[in-house]
A and B are shown apart, each in its own frame.
Chain A
Amino acid sequence: MAKKDNPLKPDKKAEHFRAPVTGIFRRSPFEGLLDHASKVRECIKCLSPAVEYFCDGKYDKMDDMVKKISELEREADQIKGNLRAHLPRFIFLPVKRGDFLMLLREEDAILDYAEDVANLMTMRHTQVPKEIKKELLEHTKKVVETAEAFENAVVNIKDLLETSFGKSEREQTKRMIHRVHRKEWEADQVEARLSRKLFNSKELEPISVIHLLKIVDRMDQIANHAENAGDWLRAMLAR
């Protein structure tokens, strides 16, 4: 990730030159940010299937999904570490360095909670009644949509950079972030319904209720952090 050259560079001769222009440019950290965001997308895609397998009792398939989620989270962590390590104080970005790092932090949280949910599901083979399953899948779908809406917004960074944060692109990105907010609200609605059903369930054991509530809670956090990330992206747009 660092700008420093491969010391085994073959053409040693041409290294002897006076060219301050080359020193000015640094590898763009936004590439890494977009890499990280794509990991988020891939990871989120695994959530719905994983939850479905959990509800249907297909625990083997669920374990496969969980493993995939863990792996993606680990790869993303590596990218994150690289980015953080290579943002020295004398680098000048078109956005505030702090905003960039906070965005990264919230994206990281999305992945952390996704992994949390995945691990939680493996801890107990809780039987999920049909009507809970419906709401659970609906909630997962809304949360995934929230994260995807955020990812669409963050991918727009490429256009933002190209137009040097031009007005038209900024407006476009703001609209996308607004969508993230809406989706998060919708996810909240489903979560409220689902929680109410869980609290008032006649057929579930208390421990099952606790397990499912924890899963729902962590799932909701994914949407929350996607929304937060969207807000930091919004902050980066400020002139």
Chain B
Amino acid sequence: MDPFTWLLLAIALTIAFYMAWNIGANDVANSMGTSVGSGALTLKNAIIVAAIFEFLGAVLLGAHVTDTVRKGIVDPLAFTGNEFNFVYGMMAALLAAAIWITVATFYGYPISTSQSIVGGVAGFGFAAIALGQVSSSTVHLEVLGKIVASWIISPLVGALLAYIMFMVVKKLILDKADPVRATKKVVPFLVFFVFLVIIAAVLIKAPKGSIIYGITPEMSIGTALIIALMAFIIGYLYLFKFKPKRARSDMEKYGHVEYIFVYLQIITACAVAFAHGSNDVANSIGPVAAIYSTLISGAIETQTVVPLGLLVLGGVGIVIGLSTWGYKVIKTIGEKIAEITPTRGFSAEFGAALTILACSFMKLPVSTSQVLVGAVIGVGFARGLSAIDFKVVRNIIITWVITIPVAALTAIGIYLGIMYFV
């Protein structure tokens, strides 16, 4: 490969790494904030959990959404013969997304990395069409439509799942006169359920090229059942030996319940980190995967799997972002939402994790922060929180409307600029 190609690749990888860093510095904090705020995880433990599970999620499951970003929105095959335009375009998209994420981070706008990268890639596609380089069917509008729809639906689904889970906790535990006893009976089943659903889903829907790919559905469910059963037994034994001090007041009773739920929340915190890694790594790696395979092979490739090395790059970027800056954000968020308790945190994280995982399975890049906001609101609707501010919802709706145009226009601008100079 000639030096120019190397230079392009190096630039692309750098920007991609920066995007991953930004994700680690910001979005991860959103996922871990509820666990730190409730006290389920100390800051240190949150960083450890996030680092491990974000990385795992990115590497084991990240290829699904990465596929969408690198070849689902804009059809790479349309650029056969025009490979460099494709590379420039993807770089424009990546750069546009990086710019807007930096601006949004500085001003605190709740724009998501997923939204900006999707906008950037779409913008490049539209620019190429406008310049007459490719046909108008190059941009898969139906995919774009599905993605935007998922941005609107995913927080709602997150809200619904969180609501249901919290109602389960409320009816089976909080409603009872002896909530501690109810907790000891119900929690092992909750543990079992959470483990089963998540592990089975992850194993069944592992993307091609992933280390865990190729396991038959029967074996997936079987493995999940075994692990879930072990978790059930461990949980049951631990709770069996849990004999708290005689609660003198109601608040002490509920304190015991919350204490037990800390463990559940730790489990869901891992799940959220895993889900987040699987969905957001694509925002940094997606375009670069397209660039990489095109430059290395010299031709447009659509059938290859996402190179593991790139997923690892993304995962590492996220972890580094988390450990160099993200922990400060987690601390700040944890302090600001200290009213949340483990029962609520668990329900919200469960709803968010399942929703985000489902979106990853469906190859849809969604905003994990917005899903989490939806989940928290879901718990609020179940009367689980003392006060919820709906202003955030309005800001989120605004992002749905303006992010694509803004990111797209920037990408178009950059792409046109590159076209002019090269």
Contact = CB atoms under 8 A, between A and B. Distances in A.
| Main DSSP-derived SS at the B contact region | helix
Contact of B29 (A19, A23, A172): A19
Contact of B386 (A15, A22, A161): A161
Residue in A95, A166, A169 whose Cβ sees the most chain B Cβ within 10 Å: A166
A159 interface: yes
Given A28-B339, A159-B250, A17 B385 contact: no
Residue in A19, A28, A93, A158 whose Cβ sees the most chain B Cβ within 10 Å: A19
Contacts of B390: 90-92
A166 B176 CA distance: 8
Interface in B152-173: 166, 170
Residue in A15, A162, A165 whose Cβ sees the most chain B Cβ within 10 Å: A162
Given A14-B331, A164-B170, A166-B170, A21 B373 contact: yes
Contacts of B27: 18
B1 interface: no
Q: Size band of the A side of the interface?
A: 35 or more
A30 B388 CA distance: 12
B388 A24 contact: yes
A154 to B, nearest CB: 14
Q: Size band of the B side of the interface?
A: 35 or more
Interface stretch (B47-55, B67-75, B374-382): B374-382
B26 interface: yes
Residue in A15, A21, A159 whose Cβ sees the most chain B Cβ within 10 Å: A21
Contacts of B106: 16
Interface string B29-56: 1100110000000000000000000000
B386 A19 contact: no
A20 B386 contact: no
B372 A23 contact: no
Interface stretch (B119-127, B213-221, B304-312, B391-399): B391-399
A172 to B, nearest CB: 8
A27 interface: yes
B338 to A, nearest CB: 9
Contacts of B25: 17
Interface in A130-167: 158-159, 161-167
A26 interface: yes
B110 to A, nearest CB: 4
A94 B174 CA distance: 15
B370 interface: yes
A49 interface: no
Contact of A159 (B111, B251, B376): B251
Given A21-B33, A169-B250, A92 B388 contact: yes
B333 interface: yes
A3 interface: yes
A23 B395 contact: yes
A166 to B, nearest CB: 4
Contacts of A164: 166, 170, 174, 382-384
A24 B33 contact: no
B391 A23 contact: yes
Q: Please provide the 5 A-B residue pairs with the shortest distance between their CB atoms, ordered closest to farther.
A: A28-B386, A94-B383, A20-B110, A23-B392, A163-B174
22 contacts: A17-B108, A18-B105, A18-B108, A18-B112, A19-B30, A21-B30, A21-B369, A22-B33, A22-B337, A23-B391, A25-B336, A25-B376, A28-B339, A91-B388, A92-B387, A92-B388, A93-B387, A94-B386, A159-B250, A162-B174, A167-B175, A169-B250
Interface of A: 3, 11, 13-30, 90-95, 158-159, 161-169, 172
